[in-house]
Structure 1
Amino acid sequence: MTTSAASPARGRTPGRRHGGSTAAGAVDAARGRVTRLATRAVHHPLLPYVLLALLPILAAAVRAWVSGWAPEGDDAIIGMRVRDTLSPNLPLVGMRSTSGLEDPALASHHPGPLEFYLLALPAALLGFSGAGLVLGVALLNAAAVIGTLVIGWQLGRHRVVLPLTGAVLALEWSLGAALLVRPLNTFVAAFPLLLALVSATALLLGRLGPMWVFALSATLVAQSNVAYAPLVAAIALLLVVVGLVRWWRLRHAVWPLPGWRPRTQQHRRWGPGRVTFAVLALAWMPPLVELLTATPNNLTQLLAYRADGAQQGGGVRPDQRLSFAVGQLVPVARLGRYGDHLAVPPTPAVAALGMIVVLLLALAAVGGKRRVTTRRPWTVGRCACALAVFSLAAEVWALSFLRVSIAAAYWLLPTIVVSVFAWAALGIRVLELLPEGVRERVGRPARLAAVALLVLALVPTLTTPTDGAWRGSRDAQQVSDPVVTALRERVRPGSDVVVLPAGLWPYLSLASAVGFQSERAGFRTYAVSAWPYPEDMAHRQVDAAPPDSVRVFLQERQADGTWPQLPPGTERIPLPAVEGRPELAFSLLVPPASRRIAGS
């Protein structure tokens, strides 16, 4: 009896010790796995390329933080839209486009708000400040760069990663330090487009792992700006056609019928296709909601804008479109730096040189010896060159959306991305065509020399002055800081504040800058101009402000030297003069119910 009664007690004690040892063993095993992964990452041959490519982005972010960069203009509106992602007023479409400048009936937005949602968490960590936006853009660009190099490593190791690193550095040089961390939707799409091109190359080679990467990056690019959407649509259509043909050849059935498949390709519960479908469903859900609930919806407006341009003949002539598309392959003007000069058509000589590069790409895609070590006739270099030619042709078509009266350099930013990818494709193809023995003999010295050149290429990117590019932010802060200080001193916290600009500079830059900063100060702000149709940003429009709102007047002196009339009771508050800017007046009208009580 004693023995049997004691047995459970003796049995329970080892069980507790065993459970504790099991938990400790699991922790040790997890720690060991993390240690092994960290060791592998530190010693991975890809790491030097990644560090080289990320250094300009890191340097740009640090320079922006040190300078105290704060958003103004469209950047400030993006900052407010990012804040909306964590509010009941969720963004459903992208930023306002310029389609309504000539005809307000054609007013539309860029296709989607994915950028706002991706920047939300980093921005929230730093209180939705300018530093938070910089952090979000830096992380977004860094993720795109890392994804580009990781996929390149999977495709061909050093032979592919080395040219791709050069392409990344060239794109960083073209944008410059100021634009590498600017949240404006046009620039945010540049590195994701490069990632989309590299992942599309992998898909064309039959590697389905990066399918979801292409879906996410291409969606971000297409939603960010209408200028990118036609190019992304053309590449996606190419991939769909290639995928359908391969499905038929492999399974002898039309997709989505399963047909026959080899044992090595049996069904997986969460294969690349299903993951991609989930990514697309989440990324396109907000525009789909807008499509079903808004009248007129954004898609209808974009199609109307396109149809109106075709009827009016407002697009760029075909010969100029070709010159614009291929001219960036030969970056003569300002050594490929992005700027307003891009809106000027390239000279015939530059266009001719660009056509020679296109011819080289075509020859590289179809010429050369086929590798006998693989069943696939298409190598990485051949496939990348073919995709570059296709993308340039698609960009010629995409530029037909450009209206001459509102020509802007940002419409041509996709051609810069395609151009750096094209040169990387040529570099990959050249390395493929080198004899195996030559690659083995000169491989390591050549890689070291190439990496040294890449390091030298970092110097102009890291040392480029940003004073001119960040002047708008600096000038806007000289106005927004005293305005917000006056609001804090005179207005009750949480009051409604409407910002009313008069003049070009207040309208384009200052109103949104003041709105962004005053919202961070705890006021409910209305600082966005009215819109001819219902939109998801209606709660921020000036005409949505309550009648008893605090009014902030930002006014430029009129051409006759007088100031616009103000309502009775308005207090004029001095502002410091901003060098090189129009003379500005700041006035404040505070209703009695919103006045701050002394000492509160």
Structure 2
Amino acid sequence: MTVRTRWVVLLTGVVCLPLVVALVALARTHWSPVLDLAMTELRVRDVGTWHTPLIGLPGRVGNFPDQGSHPGPLSFYLLAPTYRLFGSTAWSMELGTVIIHTAAVAAALSLAARRGGRRGCIAVAVLLSVIMRGYGGNVLTQPWNPYLPVIPWIVVLLAVWSVLEGDAAALVVFVAAGSLCAQTHLPYIGLVGGLGGLLVMWLVLRQRIGTPVSMPGLRRWSITAGVLGVLLWLPPVADQLRRTPGNLSMLSDYFRNPPEESIGFRHAARLLLEHLNVVRVASAAVQHSDYFKTVSFSPGGSLIPGVLVVLLWVASVVVAWRLGVRSLVHLHAVIGATLLLEWVAMARIFGKVWYYLTFWAWGVLMLMLFAICWSAAVAVRRWSPARSGGIQRIGAMSGVALLSASTLAFSWSALSLKPPENQLSRTLGAVVGPTANALAAGTGAADGKAGTYLITWTDVAFFGSQGYGLVSELERRGFTVGVANAWRVPVTQQRVLRAADSTAEVHLATGKFIDEWRAKPGVVEVAFVEPRNSEQLALYNTLRDSVISELRSLGLGDLVDEVDSNLFSVQLDPRVPPSLQARIDRMLLLGQPTAVFIAPAGTSES
């Protein structure tokens, strides 16, 4: 093992230590995934079978029930080995997620070591520790598709920089990390594709009309990267050839004919500057480990800090150019191209600007600050040689202190980490066991594991999130389960089951729908849980009364009935003011009574 490799291994261990702490903390709490994460587990479970997924998770593409999906299944393929090796538990998906991020950290540090040796490796380790603490343990341990690419995205940026520096091998890293990002979450398509296109254009122009780039092995590594890219994108292409319309066609139509008017470049410019507000980030970092998420949940604020960051970055570009530091100029070029692509990507957003649609932007901000600090250090060294040694020592000490502080603070916060959507997971976990026991015992219309069960749900709060989880949990326990054809995209086509072909129906109901199902003939209630204690129930009722009263006072009486039948839709209504949304959020977090019933086949349709 070379000295450079030892530094990469050592610093990877240091930077990823908080993720190990997070995994230990998560192992203490049982997790029953719901909604998107249940859909993810179903697809990871399918890898290696006749139903191996060829595309990603369903996305906001097209109209229900025929919506399109995110481009590719690469994340499922990467999660599958760990999932199998560790017993196909929900926790093993979290372990697989940590392994993906650890591999991304190692790749980033390897690229840094190739560029700047030990110092470069340490500098990027500091950068990564700050970024990872900013995203936090909740983001970096769950395999949700908007979260999974956030660290590989940093690898993409460093790989582009490395190619500009003449490292042809980084082309392979770019293709691998870029494919993971672009396949997993749709917003990365334009970012990765744009950077890839600019990179190819730069290589071609430099070779043909400029000074040829000295890149040993360019032909060999280009071919390797091309072959790898073809292999990684074969599954989405296969889906396109097998289905009509294929998912790639649906995505193409989505980009060419968006269902709503996009937010446009003016709003996007404001959004971009909000994501460059280093003052808000620094303020949140003092109090929280997941400060990117904290800031994302409360958008807005002054645009002045963002403008100042841009001006400071432009000044650092001028400094790097005048001093002729090629590697720094190349890094600034990558940042500049990314900012332009970022602006275009944000301008293409339509509908509600969910925080996760621009979650990747925080990594770009940190890379900008990294480049600004590097430019300042170079300027001091060139323009004031007498102070260079002292400045370098201060910089080194500050870097080590920041790495240590970020790692320790992140590790401390990770000790108390809970699984994603824990309030829904706990409730689902409480009803799954009794439901499985009742099915195995042949309760009501059930026939044990010999039966085939149609899973249905009626949910007053979270649009059936736990219903998807019930499908996955019963399947995990060896039952043959399926869903109605309307859910063929989120739950997969092979799990579609007609009521006429089922032995019995298993229905999950929440809130007011519980009494409706208790009144149905032939139905047996096999599980019930009220997640709220008496104090929480009183608080819920108080919040409910105040929400209904304010809705009426605002002239939103059409939403009153939905408070007890579709609370989440009330929270999403753009007419509802933020103060009222905050109260609805509290109601949602308090939870709902949940019951599971075994019913004769076709009960929902009768």
Give TM-score scaled by structure 2 length: 0.79
Residue 379 to residue 121, structure 1, CA distance change in 2 (3 Å): same
Which structure has the larger Rg? Answer: 1
What SS is found at the alignment partner of 2:529?
coil
1:238 aligns with 2:198: yes
Aligned counterparts of 1:528 and 1:113: Cα–Cα separation in 2: 24
1:127 aligns with 2:87: yes
Structure 1: segments with no counterpart, 5+ residues: 1-36, 253-260, 372-376, 592-600
* Corresponding residue to 2:180 among 207, 214, 220: 220
Give the corresponding residue for 1:367: 319
1:478 aligns with 2:430: yes
| Range that drifts further, 570-579 or 202-211 | 570-579
Is the contact made by 1:73 and 1:510 (CA closer than 8 Å) also made in structure 2?
Answer: yes
What SS is found at the alignment partner of 2:252?
helix
Tell me the alpha carbon deviations over residues 510-533 of structure 1, each in whole angstroms, 9 at most, x when there is no partner: 11211222111112222587258x
Tell me by how many angstroms 1:472 deviates. 3.3
Tell me the alpha carbon deviations over residues 400-426 of structure 1, each in whole angstroms, 9 at most, x when there is no partner: 22113x321111102112112222222
Aligned counterparts of 1:445 and 1:362: Cα–Cα separation in 2: 25
Residue 361 to residue 571, structure 1, CA distance change in 2 (3 Å): same
What SS is found at the alignment partner of 1:321?
helix
Give the corresponding residue for 2:509: 555
User: What's the RMSD between the two structures over aligned residues?
Assistant: 3.0
| Range that drifts further, 205-214 or 549-558 | 549-558
Residue 127 to residue 45, structure 1, CA distance change in 2 (3 Å): closer
Amino acid at match of 1:397: V
Give the corresponding residue for 2:328: 381
* Corresponding residue to 2:157 among 188, 197, 202: 197
Tell me the alpha carbon deviations over residues 367-404 of structure 1, each in whole angstroms, 9 at most, x when there is no partner: 34666xxxxx5533222222112212211110122113
| Range that drifts further, 62-71 or 143-152 | 62-71
Residue 423 to residue 485, structure 1, CA distance change in 2 (3 Å): farther
1:416 aligns with 2:362: yes
Aligned counterparts of 2:358 and 2:217: Cα–Cα separation in 1: 44
Give the corresponding residue for 1:498: 454
1:519 aligns with 2:466: no
1:569 aligns with 2:516: no
Match runs of 1:336-375 below 5 Å: 337-339=291-293, 342=296, 345-347=299-301, 349=302, 351-368=303-320
* Corresponding residue to 1:49 among 2, 7, 11: 11
Match runs of 1:571-590 below 5 Å: 571-579=524-532, 580-589=590-599
* Corresponding residue to 1:399 among 324, 337, 346: 346
Tell me by how many angstroms 1:230 deviates. 1.3
Tell me how many residue pairs correspond in the alignment. 527
1:210 aligns with 2:170: yes
* Corresponding residue to 2:126 among 160, 166, 173: 166
Between the aligned residues of both structures, percent identity stands at 21
Aligned counterparts of 2:217 and 2:151: Cα–Cα separation in 1: 35
Tell me the alpha carbon deviations over residues 292-316 of structure 1, each in whole angstroms, 9 at most, x when there is no partner: 2211122222232233338x4x211
Is the contact made by 1:362 and 1:389 (CA closer than 8 Å) also made in structure 2?
Answer: no
Amino acid at match of 1:450: G
Residue 492 to residue 468, structure 1, CA distance change in 2 (3 Å): closer
Tell me by how many angstroms 1:499 deviates. 1.3
Tell me by how many angstroms 1:489 deviates. 3.4
Give the corresponding residue for 2:99: 139
1:94 aligns with 2:60: no
Is the contact made by 1:496 and 1:523 (CA closer than 8 Å) also made in structure 2?
Answer: yes
Aligned counterparts of 1:359 and 1:426: Cα–Cα separation in 2: 11
Aligned counterparts of 1:151 and 1:564: Cα–Cα separation in 2: 59
Aligned counterparts of 2:65 and 2:208: Cα–Cα separation in 1: 45
Aligned counterparts of 2:218 and 2:139: Cα–Cα separation in 1: 44
Residue 378 to residue 473, structure 1, CA distance change in 2 (3 Å): farther
Residue 551 to residue 72, structure 1, CA distance change in 2 (3 Å): same
Is the contact made by 1:328 and 1:416 (CA closer than 8 Å) also made in structure 2?
Answer: yes
Give the corresponding residue for 1:324: 271
Tell me by how many angstroms 1:447 deviates. 2.2
What SS is found at the alignment partner of 1:186?
coil
Amino acid at match of 1:493: K
Tell me by how many angstroms 1:94 deviates. 0.6
Tell me the alpha carbon deviations over residues 519-576 of structure 1, each in whole angstroms, 9 at most, x when there is no partner: 11112222587258x89920123x45762233210012338x8414776432111312
What SS is found at the alignment partner of 1:563?
helix
Amino acid at match of 2:594: L
Tell me by how many angstroms 1:55 deviates. 1.1
What SS is found at the alignment partner of 2:147?
helix
What SS is found at the alignment partner of 2:481?
strand
Aligned counterparts of 1:450 and 1:78: Cα–Cα separation in 2: 38
Aligned counterparts of 1:473 and 1:163: Cα–Cα separation in 2: 39
Tell me by how many angstroms 1:133 deviates. 0.4
Tell me by how many angstroms 1:500 deviates. 0.4
Residue 49 to residue 283, structure 1, CA distance change in 2 (3 Å): same
1:537 aligns with 2:492: yes
Residue 194 to residue 267, structure 1, CA distance change in 2 (3 Å): closer
What SS is found at the alignment partner of 1:574?
strand
Aligned counterparts of 2:229 and 2:55: Cα–Cα separation in 1: 15
Give TM-score scaled by structure 1 length: 0.80
Is the contact made by 1:484 and 1:517 (CA closer than 8 Å) also made in structure 2?
Answer: no
1:278 aligns with 2:227: yes
